[in-house]
Chain A
Amino acid sequence: MKIGGSICFQLTDIFEIIDDKSLTLEEKMKKIQKYQESIISEGSGIKVGNNVIGSYNGFFVFGNIYRLDYDSLVRIKEHVEKNLSSLTCDAEMKMGAILSGYDIDSHDIKYNFKFADKVYNYAMKNGKDIRGHTLVWHNFEPREIINEYIEDRLGCTIDEYKEKYPDNFVEKRKDLTKEFLGSYMKKMGEQYPNCYCWDVINEIVSDDVCNKELSEEDDGLRHSLWYEYLGKEFYIDALELAREHLPQETKLIYNEYGEQHKEKREKILEIIEKIKEYEKKEGKVLLDGIGIQSHYSIDVTEKQIEDIYSDFAKTGKKIQITEIDIISDTSKKNEKFNKLWQKEFELAQKYGVDSFTGWGICDSLNWYANRGVQLTMVDESGNVKDFARNFIEKARENNNFSIEDVAKNAILKGTTLAQVEACENIEAKEKEMVREGVSINE
């Protein structure tokens, strides 16, 4: 099982400074302090259009990175290097961060890989796997860029086209949106070929399914740009495009939150069933797994967690835990906090979860830092908490590949029956010779 955490480029930048052998300890500390100061000044975060995304101090860096002392940062780095085998970008691989515009002269989409490259390269250099996060999401939708892309190909504005060709407008816009999304996915696959999976569809069910009675017309899906442009089965189009344009071995994931609420879980399961029906009809598998985000409050019960695993396991799809955190007041309820995590570990093992990722790295580096709560398996200074030690150590002993991955790869490489029989015969023959006392080297 891969143990993961979400990480931002600012942290990998700091790790690089710590690693820089040309600097003395004093120089490293000064450089980090300067970098931390630069993080809190406007302008060095991830920009989307004219905005810098993220709610905390203007940047998409989770936590109080600028307050952490050098020793804590070194311990956090050691934790990442020693205990985590998989990383997820906090925001760097999201479409809003990657797309930087549309170039009307070259008729091409403009990309900004600067931030995502930093995290990806850090992962590759340090032997980490990386999850691709995320492709089709309702936040930071690139409406302007898509519209420019579409209008450039229509040769007029969308409204003009709609007026002129009311009958085929919807279909035409859908085709061009698919073309756009396909190009984007292809580019991401080329830029980050070693992402072992991608959250192809992310958070597509509306929270309204928990809060109110839905009208007959309301299908419980978020009415995002993708819904509007691709239609209500946009998630199937997205998976089809991902299968076509991402590297063939990439696992395609539907990542969702709010699964602890029964109504929302039912809706998520309904979507998965629709995908499965489509797969059956088309005779192919599009969805490899379900990403259960697992953002919980301390009020979640062990029974609820059991039900979540059990319900999703029934779909037959692989389960990944993709963004887990459990919000708990630091001053109380430690016992329950520990128990809930242990339940998670137990169920993750029981249900063969292949990737178990926390959102953030430790209690000081996550989206609730500085609010008097603990959320993660790792304390503020990068020490793994007692209740998580065994689980992390056991996972660390493991794996880069499963035997299933190895067998799949061999089949894809064209292994034939004759080759398998030949290797089995040779082995049997050698063993026979040893039994008869003939040296292998004779």
Chain B
Amino acid sequence: MNSTYSKAYTEVLEIIRHLSKEEYEKIPKEKIEFYTVNKDNNYVFKINPNINLSKQNISPEANAILVSIYKEYFANEKQKEVLNQLLIENQKLHNEEKVEFNPDEAFKDNLEDNNIDNDKLLLPIESIDEKWYNKILDFIRSLFNKN
């Protein structure tokens, strides 16, 4: 078993332990057994219930598994559809960031000659991230809002 995923299974088991009994029971037993058998027993991962999930160190693999669980066992058709759009959006942003913030790309030519948006380049990466973050957050709020 890939050790990254073994660790992710440890994280997933710890996180779903904090779900309500009803939600926990919606996840098939075989799935939980699979994670239990394949988890990394030497890896210690603890969720602090006081702290918002966003501030806890959850690996990208564990997050991906959790999205997959949500999609498979909890989301309705509309939510699945929007969730997929969000995943695609994230994928695009992920790919764009790689290009956008490649220093070789940014500095290879004279900025003025190439009509590159100076403001955008001068913007700190955090600001762009924040913008993206808010955009996705708005999307998510609409997704989970019952309207």
A contacts, CB < 8 Å to B: 1, 123-124, 127-129, 193-194, 196, 247-249, 276, 283-285, 288, 316-318, 394, 397-420, 422-424, 426-427, 430-431, 440-441
Interface centre among A1, A193, A249, A409 (most CB of B within 10 A): A409
Contact of B2 among A127, A414, A426 (CB under 8 A): A426
Bound Cα distance from A123 to B38, whole angstroms: 35
Contacts of B52 in A (CB 8 A): 193-194, 196, 247, 249
B contacts, CB < 8 Å to A: 1-2, 5, 8, 15-16, 18-23, 26, 34, 37-38, 47, 49-54, 58, 60-61, 63-71, 74-75, 83-84, 86-88, 90-91, 93-94, 133-134, 136-138, 140-142, 144-147
Bound Cα distance from A78 to B138, whole angstroms: 40
Given contacts A194-B52, A431-B34, A440-B38, contact A417 B91 (CB under 8 A): yes
Known A-B contacts: A410-B63, A420-B64. Give 4 more (CB < 8 A): A248-B54, A285-B141, A412-B133, A415-B64
Decide if B90 touches A417 in the complex (CB within 8 Å). Answer: yes
Decide if B90 touches A414 in the complex (CB within 8 Å). Answer: yes
Instruction: Decide if the interface of chain B is mainly helix, strand, loop or mixed.
Output: helix
Decide if A403 touches B23 in the complex (CB within 8 Å). Answer: yes
Contact of A417 among B18, B21, B84, B142 (CB under 8 A): B84
Q: Give min CB distance, A411 to chain B, whole Å.
A: 5
Decide if A127 touches B90 in the complex (CB within 8 Å). Answer: no
Bound Cα distance from A404 to B20, whole angstroms: 11
Decide if A316 touches B147 in the complex (CB within 8 Å). Answer: yes
Contacts of A398 in B (CB 8 A): 19-22
Bound Cα distance from A423 to B61, whole angstroms: 7
Contact of B137 among A276, A405, A412, A431 (CB under 8 A): A412
Decide if A423 touches B8 in the complex (CB within 8 Å). Answer: yes
Interface centre among B16, B70, B90 (most CB of A within 10 A): B90
Closest to A288 in B: B141
Decide if B49 touches A400 in the complex (CB within 8 Å). Answer: yes
Decide if B90 touches A411 in the complex (CB within 8 Å). Answer: yes
Decide if B61 touches A317 in the complex (CB within 8 Å). Answer: no
Q: Give min CB distance, B117 to chain A, whole Å.
A: 23
Contact of B18 among A123, A193, A401 (CB under 8 A): A401
Interface centre among A276, A412, A430, A440 (most CB of B within 10 A): A412
Given contacts A129-B50, A285-B141, contact A416 B87 (CB under 8 A): yes
Bound Cα distance from A318 to B69, whole angstroms: 23
Decide if B93 touches A403 in the complex (CB within 8 Å). Answer: no
Q: List 25 A-B contacts (CB under 8 A).
A: A123-B50, A124-B50, A127-B50, A129-B49, A248-B137, A285-B138, A400-B18, A402-B23, A403-B19, A403-B69, A404-B144, A409-B63, A410-B63, A410-B66, A413-B54, A413-B60, A414-B94, A415-B87, A415-B90, A416-B90, A423-B5, A423-B64, A426-B5, A430-B1, A440-B37
Bound Cα distance from A401 to B48, whole angstroms: 11
Contacts of A426 in B (CB 8 A): 2, 5
Contact of B68 among A127, A317, A405, A423 (CB under 8 A): A423
Contact of B20 among A129, A283, A399 (CB under 8 A): A399
Given contacts A248-B133, A440-B1, A441-B1, contact A423 B94 (CB under 8 A): no
Interface centre among B23, B37, B63, B84 (most CB of A within 10 A): B63
